[in-house]
Amino acid sequence: MRINKYLAECGVCSRRKADEYVKAGRVSINKKTVREVGTDVDETNDTVFVDGKKVVKVTHYDYVMFYKPKGCVTTLNDERDNKSGRPVRESDIDGSLNVNLRNSSSAKPSEDANIKKRPRRTVMDYLDGYKDKRLYPVGRLDYDSEGLLLLTNDGDMTFKLTHPSSEIPKTYIVKIEGSIEESDLAVLRKGVTVDGVKYGRCKVKVTGVENDDTRLEVIIFEGKNREIRRMFQAVEKNVIFLKRVAIGELRLGGLARGGARDLSETEIEYLAKLCGLQR
C-alpha cells in the first residue's frame, strides 16, 4: 500500500497532505526517513512514524458537521501561512477582540509585538467536545467565508470529497456588489481562467436582489482555493458574502454559527455512496 493511502487510512491526514509530509521529510518507515511519495508500506511488518510519533491504525471513524463562522481559519493550528486563502491582515490577528493595531495609541511597542504573535481563531477553538478526537477538516473555507465544513479521521473519504476528479457538487449562497448581466452568468457557467488558473464549469443563478446587491446560488464541482471569489473576479464582480450550504445533498441546517454535531448513520452512508466507498 502506498504511504499516502496508508496515512489516510490511519486517520493522520488526507492523501494530498500525506504527500506533503513525505516530501518534507516528516515521515519515516522503520525509523528510516522516506521522501518519495510513491513509497510502499508493508502493513504487516512495517512501522510508520510521523514527526517521530508512531502511526496507529484507526479502528473507528468519526464524522462531524461544523458551521464555520466568518473570521475563523480552516486549520487545526494557526500556522500564519496563508492557508486561510489570503495574506494575514492586522484585523485577522484576533477576531474575538477586533484589535486595530494602527489606531492603538495606548499600546506600547512591546505590547504590540505580543499582540501580533497572538494566533487567529481556528476551527478547533469551536470544537471543545471533539478535542480528544483526531479530526481533520475536509477541504477549506477561507477566512472571510462561512458555512458547512466537515471534519473526519476518514482519510479516504476526505480524499474523495476534495479531489477535483470526483466532481462532488458543493452549493453556495453568494452575494455580490451591484447587478450582474445574463451574459456574465453564461461566462461563469462555461468556466473561466484567472491568473493562469482554469476554473471549471459551474451552475449559477440569481435568487434575489437586496438593496443594491445581488444574491445568487452557485454550485461548483472542483473546490479550488478561493474558487468562487476568483470566478466572479473574472467578470469584474466583488463577492461580499459567501456561505457553503451543501455538499452533494448533505445540507447545513439546524446549527448556529460555530456549532457542530456528529453526522447520522444515514448521512455517513450517503457520503460513502457519493464517494463510491464501501462501508
Residue 263 is classified by DSSP as P
In the numeric block, the cell 463577492 is attached to 239
Of the residues 78, 92, 142, 144, only one is catalytic, namely: 142
User: Residue 241: helix, strand or coil by DSSP?
Assistant: strand
**Phi and psi, residue 161, nearest 5°:** -70, -25
Cα angle: 147, vertex 148, 154; to 5 degrees: 150
Task: Determine whether 212 is an active site residue.
Answer: no
- DSSP H or E segment with residue 28: strand 27-29
Largest CA distance in the chain: 65
CB of 96 within 8 A of CB of 120?
no
- DSSP H or E segment with residue 23: helix 15-23
The count of residues in the chain is: 279
CB of 53 within 8 A of CB of 32?
no
**Phi and psi, residue 33, nearest 5°:** -65, 135
Which residue numbers are catalytic? 142
